[in-house]
Amino acid sequence: MAALAALRALRRLCGVALFLSQLYVLSGRAGSLMTTKHSQPQSTFAKSLTSTSTNTPYFKAAESTEIPSYVTKCPSNGLCSRLPPDCMTCNTNYSCIYGKPATFDCKVKPHVHCVDENNHEQENFTINMTCQFCWQLATTDYVCTNSTNCMTVSCPRQRYNATCTVRDHIHCLGNRVFPKMLYCNWTGGYKWSTALALSITLGGFGADRFYLGQWREGLGKLFSFGGLGIWTLIDVLLIGVGYVGPADGSLYI
Predicted TM-score (pTM) of the model is 0.53
Burial of 204 (0-12, 13-18, 19+ CB in 10 A): buried
Of the candidates 210, 209, 207, 199, the one whose C-alpha atom is nearest the C-alpha of residue 233 is: 199
Lowest-pLDDT choice from 53-57, 186-190, 213-217, 249-253: 53-57
Read off φ and ψ for residue 101, nearest 5 degrees. Answer: -65, 145
Question: Torsions phi, psi of 160, nearest 5?
Answer: -145, 155
- Round to whole Å and give the CA distance between 135 and 53: 54
Tell me the pLDDT tens digit for each residue of 82-119: 888 888 888 887 888 898 999 899 998 888 888 888 88
Decide if pLDDT at 43 tops 90: no
Give the separation between CA 156 and CA 152, rounded to whole angstroms.
Answer: 10
Q: For 60, how many CA atoms within 13 A lie in the half-sphere containing its CB?
A: 6
Over the stretch 189-237, which tens digit does the pLDDT of each residue have? 888 999 999 999 999 999 999 999 999 999 999 999 888 899 999 999 9
Beta partners for 180?
162
Which of 112-116, 151-155, 172-176 is least confident?
151-155
Q: Count the Cβ atoms, other than its own, within 10 Å of residue 61.
A: 9
- DSSP conformational letter for 204: G
- Does 48 have pLDDT greater than 80? no
Angle formed at CA 209 by CA 205 and CA 211, multiple of 5 degrees: 100
In this prediction, residue 27 has a pLDDT band, given cuts at 50, 70 and 90, of low
For 77-111, the DSSP string reads: TEEGGGS-GGGEEE---TTSPTTSEEEEEEEEPTT
Higher per-residue confidence, 156 vs 244: 244
Cα 222 from Cα 245, distance rounded (Å): 19
Q: To the nearest whole number, what is the mean pLDDT of the chain?
A: 79
The dihedral sign for the CA sequence 172, 184, 154, 199: positive
Output the pLDDT for position 24: 62
**23 CB neighbour count, 10 Å cutoff:** 10
Chain CA centroid to CA 222, Å: 57
